[in-house]
């Protein structure tokens, strides 16, 4: 017999085998047991979380020969045929390949006929968001009032693309992305059942790479079994995925614990030669520090943690809790700024060296002093008001970062082209340019963009705002706009907003005209393209309205 992929072999066949979707399973099971089933269900969620699987199990529950319930027998002809994909009253439609309205009409022509052998005729539409607008219109009436023997089960990864008229006719269930722990636990059950040797850390690495998808994790496990010749080890998984081998993570963390900058530099050089995934390495460092913090706070959790327990135990004794918290924060900032650095290697080196530079000192003395003070029963108010050395280091680090940001903002401010307010003409072009220089955001930017200059007198400027936009002229938005003008012209001025029915030229109107012109040109270019013309003439292709987008500004 030919080999069957794990994702197909271990596909859940009843609700009890479904992983991580308890909120959906409970609702469906109760509806079946109480015989209160709706005529149309919509399952949404990312790929590989169980949308189609739940729909098939639901169809089995509806048509089981032992009676409709949340626990199908799995042995009758209906259950076996549904599992094998050949049940004649379960009509599965791939909406991605049958998007035309003719396909939908052909499908609906058979809705009126009774089931051939089952209790219900079930239509399972996968990736339903791919249907065209006309197809949805053809489906609406039947979807709202189908015959009593018909159930519609719709599945999609992109519910935002479905018309609201379709959403309102369905019971919608949002399937969650699976946690790494849930995926790793399921993988462990499978490899035990398949009698394959494994390491827990390797399964967790696969779970992280699956990014919440159980199907992806099973495909990766299939690949790992083939790659490692049936021995799913941590080393083999990192080699297969191209991620950083765990030994280098150990070297870096131990070098950090030993305050050994030379060892850190040596390890980063070797990682650069391996073309390592530095982003993934940052995530591993952050996760190790997280687990060290957990083991220090709750020692009983040590045996349940994902990483090498010996490493976590060693680091827990080498780092103080203050070390861990500070290093964790520095690692987060380092990962955030990874793509601002000249090279990923230098970003990692600077992050680890920053950890060494801001190493908290004197924490043990502080603990001993606090203990002796409490035991003596004489608290020292002066000492308790002082910051610990670790907190002082963290405070210094945060202040340094703020100074860098403030310096950057100051240099931008100096680059502004200061002019006198009286030099500003009433021309809308100049106002449009000025609005872009003020550094406004959100509502205040919207307010400025929808205004035009009415008058400039002495120390005041009056702007005109059309009555239809009066709602955005909030007190806060006016104050922020006034402050921005004061800072730009370096003078105290008064801002007045005049609201009237007059429709004058504004920056927002200008932008709309430019945007419409660009969009129109893009549509004309698409229509005149030789390849598009050929597709239209030879295959009857059509450009879907609203899908043409300009490729530049």
Neighbouring residues of 335: CB distance < 8 A, sequence distance ≥ 6: 279, 282, 283, 286
Enclosing H/E stretch for 274: none
Residue 177 burial (10 A CB sphere; 0-12, 13-18, 19+): middle
Residue 373 near residue 380, CB atoms below 8 Å:
yes
Nearest to 44 by CA among 210, 238, 174, 223: 174
Residue 122 near residue 90, CB atoms below 8 Å:
yes
**Cβ count within 10 A of residue 508:** 20
The CA-atom distances, in angstroms, between 537 and each of 206, 487, 541 are: 48, 60, 8
Residue range(s) of every CATH 3.40.50.300 domain in the chain: 6-174
The CA-atom distances, in angstroms, between 110 and each of 1, 56, 122, 525 are: 37, 20, 12, 42
**Cβ count within 10 A of residue 193:** 10
Q: What is the pLDDT of residue 404?
A: 45
Fold of the CATH domain 246-363: Zinc Finger, Delta Prime; domain 3 (1.20.272)
Residue range(s) of every CATH 1.10.8.60 domain in the chain: 180-241
CATH of 421-505, one of 3.40.50.1460, 1.10.10.10, 3.30.300.150, 2.40.50.140: 3.30.300.150
Match 């149309």 to its residue by tokens.
40
Fold of the CATH domain 180-241: Helicase, Ruva Protein; domain 3 (1.10.8)
Residue 174 near residue 42, CB atoms below 8 Å:
no
* Backbone angles phi and psi of 154, in degrees to 5: -110, 140
Match 């900058």 to its residue by tokens.
261
d(CA 215, CA 294): 30
d(CA 179, CA 280): 18
CATH of 6-174, one of 3.40.50.720, 3.40.605.10, 3.30.390.10, 3.40.50.300: 3.40.50.300
| pLDDT tens track, the chain, 553 positions | 578 888 888 899 999 999 988 999 999 999 999 989 999 999 999 999 999 999 999 999 999 999 899 999 888 999 999 988 889 999 888 877 777 777 788 778 888 888 888 899 999 988 888 888 888 888 888 888 888 999 999 999 988 888 898 899 899 999 999 988 899 999 999 999 989 998 888 888 888 888 889 999 999 999 999 988 888 888 888 888 877 777 788 889 988 888 888 888 988 888 888 777 888 889 889 989 998 998 888 887 776 665 677 788 888 888 888 889 999 999 999 999 888 888 888 999 999 999 988 755 544 443 344 334 333 444 444 333 344 444 555 555 555 555 544 444 444 744 445 456 666 666 667 788 888 888 888 778 888 888 888 888 878 888 888 887 787 788 888 888 888 888 888 888 888 888 887 767 777 777 777 878 888 888 888 888 888 887 878 777 888 776 777 775 4
d(CA 352, CA 257): 11
Nearest to 103 by CA among 86, 91, 118: 91
The CA-atom distances, in angstroms, between 124 and each of 43, 136, 431 are: 11, 15, 57
Residue range(s) of every CATH 3.30.300.150 domain in the chain: 421-505
Residue 447 near residue 477, CB atoms below 8 Å:
yes
């Amino acid at each position: 017999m030919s080999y069957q992929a794990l994702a197909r072999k271990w596909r859940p066949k009843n609700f009890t085998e479904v992983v991580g979707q308890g909120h959906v399973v409970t609702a469906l099971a109760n509806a079946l047991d109480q015989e209160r089933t709706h005529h149309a269900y919509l399952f949404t969620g990312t790929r590989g979380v169980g949308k189609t699987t739940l729909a098939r199990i639901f169809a089995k529950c509806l048509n089981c020969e032992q009676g409709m319930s949340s626990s199908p027998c799995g042995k009758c002809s209906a259950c076996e045929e549904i599992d094998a994909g050949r049940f004649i009253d379960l009509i599965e439609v791939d909406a991605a390949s049958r998007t035309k309205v003719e396909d939908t009409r052909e499908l609906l022509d058979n809705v009126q006929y009774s089931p051939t052998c089952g209790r219900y005729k079930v239509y399972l539409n996968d990736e339903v968001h791919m249907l065209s607008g006309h197809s949805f219109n053809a489906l609406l009436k039947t979807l709202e009032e189908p015959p009593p023997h018909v159930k519609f089960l719709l599945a999609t990864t992109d519910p935002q693309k479905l018309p609201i008229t379709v959403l309102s006719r369905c019971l919608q269930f949002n399937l969650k992305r699976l946690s790494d722990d849930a995926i790793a636990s399921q993988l462990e059950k499978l490899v035990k059942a398949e009698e394959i040797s494994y390491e827990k850390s390797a399964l967790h690495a696969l779970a992280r790479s699956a990014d919440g998808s159980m199907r992806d994790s099973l495909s990766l496990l299939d690949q790992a079994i083939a790659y490692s010749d049936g021995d799913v080890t941590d080393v083999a998984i990192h080699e297969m995925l191209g991620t950083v081998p765990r030994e280098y993570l150990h070297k870096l963390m131990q070098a950090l614990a030993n305050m050994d900058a030379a060892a850190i530099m040596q390890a980063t050089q070797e990682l650069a030669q391996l073309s390592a995934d530095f982003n993934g390495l940052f995530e591993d460092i952050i996760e190790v520090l997280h687990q060290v913090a957990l083991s220090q706070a709750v020692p009983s959790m040590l045996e349940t943690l994902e990483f090498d327990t010996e490493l976590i135990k060693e680091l827990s004794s080498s780092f103080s809790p203050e070390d861990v918290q500070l290093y964790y924060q520095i690692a987060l900032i380092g990962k955030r700024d990874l793509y601002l650095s000249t090279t990923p290697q230098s970003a990692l080196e600077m992050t680890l060296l920053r950890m060494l530079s801001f190493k908290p000192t004197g924490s043990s003395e502080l603990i001993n002093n606090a203990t002796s003070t409490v035991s003596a029963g004489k608290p020292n108010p002066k000492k308790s008001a002082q910051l610990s050395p670790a907190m002082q280091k963290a405070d210094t680090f945060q202040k340094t970062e703020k100074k860098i940001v403030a310096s950057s903002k100051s240099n931008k401010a100096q680059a502004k082209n200061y002019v006198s307010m009286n030099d500003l003409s009433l021309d809308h072009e100049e106002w449009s340019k000025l609005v872009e220089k003020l550094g406004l955001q959100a509502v205040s930017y919207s307010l400025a963009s929808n205004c035009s200059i009415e008058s400039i007198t002495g120390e005041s400027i009056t702007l005109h705002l059309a009555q239809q936009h009066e709602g955005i002229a909030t007190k806060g938005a006016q104050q922020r706009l006034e402050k921005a003008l004061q800072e730009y012209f370096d003078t105290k001025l008064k801002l007045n907003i005049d609201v009237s029915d007059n429709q004058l030229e504004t920056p927002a109107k200008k932008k709309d005209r430019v945007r419409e012109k660009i969009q129109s040109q893009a549509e004309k270019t698409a229509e005149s393209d030789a390849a598009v013309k050929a597709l239209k003439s030879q295959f009857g292709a059509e450009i879907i309205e609203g899908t043409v987008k300009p490729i530049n500004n």
